Structure 1
Amino acid sequence: MCNKIIDFPCSYTNSSGVRAEITEGLDLSFPDAYLHRETMFKLAKAVKSADGAFHVDLSFCHTLEAEAMGADINLGDDRQGPRCRDYVCDTVDQLLELPDIDFSKGRIYETLMAAQMLADNGEFPNIEICGPFTIMANLIDLKHVFKACRKRPEIMHEVYSRFGKQVKQFIFEAEAHGIKLISYSDPTSALNILGPRLLDSYTREFTVGFLKECIDSIKDDSMLLLCPKTTYALIGTDCAEFVAHELPHNDMQYAEACVSMLGKVKLSGQNCIKNNRLHITNGIFKEVRLK
């Protein structure tokens, strides 16, 4: 039941942009650097080097999908990355009228191309894709969404479905650009924001079915990496369970462990891939298996 869901303490939920100590000396101008594949490539490599990471992360915010659907985004600077400037929708009905994402143009296209450049250069790019609540948070005041969840659940099912289709297409586009590690996070759907009752229904009515469709469709050597907040919601609602796999080494960065499991596991989520200081030290990788 919903009272079994526990929250995952994460310090990266609202992270945006690149730390100033990394951007210094790169000879980049902001926010222009967030708009082009070459500068994203340079930024991602610099972050990897500074953090001692096994992989590279893209993008640098949680606004890509919403911007591509018409959101008003402030692109920020070298200290604070892209974020919502103003809402473009006043009602949940208007969310259904927004355009589909065009993956052949704009910042979302440049991000895909940057990831492909990184993969072509021997890197393991991890592209972070957001879920419906996080996308909505950049388009509409969530008080309208929460009200609709209570009084108009049928239209919210339509919204989840519509946004879910956009997210799935993003996942397939990522694969088409050579990306094998694809993170799925929906930080705005966290327990401390939605509350246990709404998170329970959202997990059962949308998340588990959406993820089943995704893992049935992605390539055998691709992996979806869940934010542990989503993992905990799935486990807490008894929609998923952990299945243990033996790793080739006892001490591995999470991203390195994920790469070693490509072709064996399609869905993971025991750790946060952004936390490079956290290693798996017991030699056990936990697949998230949906029920």
Structure 2
Amino acid sequence: MQLINICVQNKIKYIDKEVINFFPMAYNNYEYMKNIIYYEKNNDKSECSTLPLSEIIILDGMGVDLIVNKKDNTLKSREYIYNDIEELSKNIKFNLDAIKIKNTMQVCKYFSEKNEDYIFNVPGVMSILNGMIEITKIFKAIRKNKETMEIVFYKIRKYILKYLKEAFKNGVRVISYSDPILRDGIMSKKESNWIMEKFTYELMNDLKEVMPSNAIVHICPQNIKLMEAAGIIKMQDFNLEKDYYNKLVFELKEKENFVGGMCINSRIKTNEIKKIELIKREI
């Protein structure tokens, strides 16, 4: 199977006025959020929904003031909260009790108890940082201040793991990991390899140790390409019974830790998917 390196947006159209009116309150209201997820599931070809409603909801726990983007009802930062990487490294923190995170976990638990399939989206380090500080300052720090960046990477990795442990506790079993800002060509190969080694490899390696035996992580093909270029993964093709691509991920959740191949939002029927295995990186 060849990687299909195309990002696909969730194309659910909110045409029901009642559902439309659930935004923006849904991020802070369990019942509204639950009704939106049901609406998505009932209008999706594969009968699958995604949580959170916006993947950067994790930033709510990091003290970022999140507002609703009226164009697509996702969240965005009202403003950057740090001026430089040193300030960020010293002051960044994480609170699982932030209201948007608590409501999301409550909805996860509800759908898990109903045995409903859903995918839990998790952003990568660059997407998280982009919500707190101007991204050009991050690129500069990667080139000139790697020691501080490693501190930042360590803290964010621990926060993501804490977030996902809570998600697992509430029944999440299928994770979709993506970092669209960190795509091929946005920085030098040396810099992207460094991020793959210092952050992505370490996160996936730690995640493997805390995942339930029936959980799985799907990795965005853009990130797989960078991981492969950095030499931290190897891949193996799987051929399964033909179905929607995201259904193949669910089928493998008790057998594999990491898979990929195309965007998990694709609603293409296929019998192909890739198993991804971490390779111990050289120090």
- CA 1:20/1:246 → structure 2, altered by over 3 Å: closer, same or farther? closer
Q: Quote the offset at 1:7 in angstroms.
A: 9.2
Deviates more, 1:101-110 or 1:175-184: 101-110
Give the whole-Å Cα distance in 2 for the aligned partners of 1:285 and 1:62: 24
Q: Quote the offset at 1:233 in angstroms.
A: 1.1
Q: Quote the offset at 1:271 in angstroms.
A: 2.0
The one-letter amino acid of 2:74's match is G
Give the whole-Å Cα distance in 2 for the aligned partners of 1:219 and 1:34: 27
Equivalent residue number for residue 170 of structure 2: 177
Q: Quote the offset at 1:86 in angstroms.
A: 0.8
Equivalent residue number for residue 219 of structure 1: 212
- 1:56-205 → structure 2 map (5 Å cutoff): 56-77=49-70, 79-205=72-198
Q: Is the 8 A contact 1:220 1:263 kept in 2?
A: yes
Paired-residue identity, %: 19
Q: Quote the offset at 1:27 in angstroms.
A: 6.6
Q: Quote the offset at 1:80 in angstroms.
A: 3.3
SS at 2:78 equivalent: strand
Residue by residue over 1:141-198, the C-alpha shift from the partner in whole angstroms, topping out at 9 and shown as x without a partner, is 0111111111111100111111011011111111100111011111222224334332
**Structure 1: any 5+ residue segments left out of the alignment?**
1-5
Among 231, 242, 258, the residue aligned to 1:267: 258
Equivalent residue number for residue 277 of structure 2: 289
The one-letter amino acid of 1:287's match is K
Equivalent residue number for residue 256 of structure 1: 247
| Superposition RMSD in Å | 2.2
Give the whole-Å Cα distance in 2 for the aligned partners of 1:216 and 1:159: 21
Q: Is the 8 A contact 2:22 2:32 kept in 1?
A: no
Deviates more, 1:66-75 or 1:27-36: 27-36
- CA 1:106/1:194 → structure 2, altered by over 3 Å: closer, same or farther? farther
Equivalent residue number for residue 9 of structure 1: 6
The one-letter amino acid of 1:263's match is E
Q: Quote the offset at 1:135 in angstroms.
A: 0.6
TM score, norm. by length of structure 2: 0.90
Q: Is the 8 A contact 1:76 1:83 kept in 2?
A: yes
- CA 1:31/1:231 → structure 2, altered by over 3 Å: closer, same or farther? same
Give the whole-Å Cα distance in 2 for the aligned partners of 1:137 and 1:7: 25
Q: Quote the offset at 1:58 in angstroms.
A: 0.8
Q: Is the 8 A contact 2:246 2:266 kept in 1?
A: no
Give the whole-Å Cα distance in 1 for the aligned partners of 2:67 and 2:20: 22
TM score, norm. by length of structure 1: 0.87
Q: Is the 8 A contact 1:54 1:256 kept in 2?
A: no
SS at 2:40 equivalent: helix
Q: Quote the offset at 1:29 in angstroms.
A: 3.5
Residue by residue over 1:234-262, the C-alpha shift from the partner in whole angstroms, topping out at 9 and shown as x without a partner, is 12222111123342x1x111221112112
Residue by residue over 1:70-99, the C-alpha shift from the partner in whole angstroms, topping out at 9 and shown as x without a partner, is 112222347432112210100112222345
Deviates more, 1:88-97 or 1:70-79: 70-79
In the TM superposition, structure 1's runs of 4+ consecutive aligned residues that sit over 4 Å from their partners are none
Q: Quote the offset at 1:106 in angstroms.
A: 0.9
SS at 2:176 equivalent: strand
Q: Is the 8 A contact 1:20 1:79 kept in 2?
A: no
The one-letter amino acid of 2:26's match is A
Give the whole-Å Cα distance in 2 for the aligned partners of 1:244 and 1:7: 14
How many equivalent residue pairs? 277
Q: Quote the offset at 1:8 in angstroms.
A: 2.4
SS at 1:86 equivalent: coil
Give the whole-Å Cα distance in 2 for the aligned partners of 1:42 and 1:186: 28
Equivalent residue number for residue 3 of structure 1: none
